[in-house]
Amino acid sequence: LNGAGQANRWRSVAPEDTRRIGAALAAELLPDGVLLVEGDLGAGKTVLAQGVASGLGIAAEEVQSPTYTLVREHRGDRVRLLHLDLYRLDADDVAAAGIEETLAETGVKIVEWPDRLAAVPRGAVSLRITLLPNGERDIERLAR
Ligand SMILES: Nc1ncnc2c1ncn2[C@@H]1O[C@H](COP(=O)(O)OP(=O)(O)O)[C@@H](O)[C@H]1O
Ligand SMILES: [Mg+2]
């Protein structure tokens, strides 16, 4: 259901670009949406999550790499943000950790390493960030 105003592909040359792209996605994630962000380590998934946070009225600096923390919660005035990093999990861990339940909670959810999930949550917005040889990032919306 891509509205005419929804971009599907972006080129980012600096972290600020990636944050702006994230911020622009915030509106379509309200109030309870899920954003899945694929990409290698260092691609810019957490930077993009910072942009989404700022678009939700949450200080971008609050959002840090949660690699050692499965879920981090950030509270804004209007909405809360749950930021998940599944890097260290396998499918069994995901089930045991109750991740599917977390994704059904109220608020906006952002998932790094969504390939660990057994199933794509219904209605999720999916992105893939690719680090290009010249250091720029290609960010594309994936059709589900
Ligand atoms: N265009 C860009 N977009 C996002 N991050 C960038 C960009 N250019 C350089 N970087 C740097 O790349 C790193 C991305 O880190 P991070 O977002 O934590 O990656 P990931 O969460 O995908 O592992 C940061 O140090 C950031 O400053
Ligand atoms: Mg990260």
Task: Evaluate: CB of 83 within 6 angstroms of ligand 1.
Answer: no
Lookup: tokens for 22: 């994230």
* pLDDT beyond 50 at 104: yes
Model-level pTM greater than 0.85?
A: yes
Q: Which of 47, 64, 86 to mutate to test the pocket of ligand 1 (most atoms within 8 A of CB)?
A: 47
Q: What is the DSSP letter of 106?
A: S
* Ligand 2: centre distance to CA 4 (Å): 30
* pLDDT beyond 60 at 118: yes
Looking at all shown ligands, the one closest to residue 39's CA atom is 1
Q: pLDDT category, 54, cuts 50, 70, 90? A: very high
* pLDDT beyond 60 at 111: yes
The gap between the terminal CA atoms of the chain, to the nearest Å, is 10
Q: Which of 26-30, 63-67, 90-94 has the highest mean pLDDT?
A: 26-30
Taking the CA atoms of 35, 7, 64 and 59 in sequence, report the sign of the dihedral they define: negative
Lookup: tokens for 77: 């005035």
Task: Evaluate: CB of 46 within 6 angstroms of ligand 1.
Answer: yes
The continuous run of DSSP H or E covering 144 comes out as none
* Ligand 1: centre distance to CA 131 (Å): 9
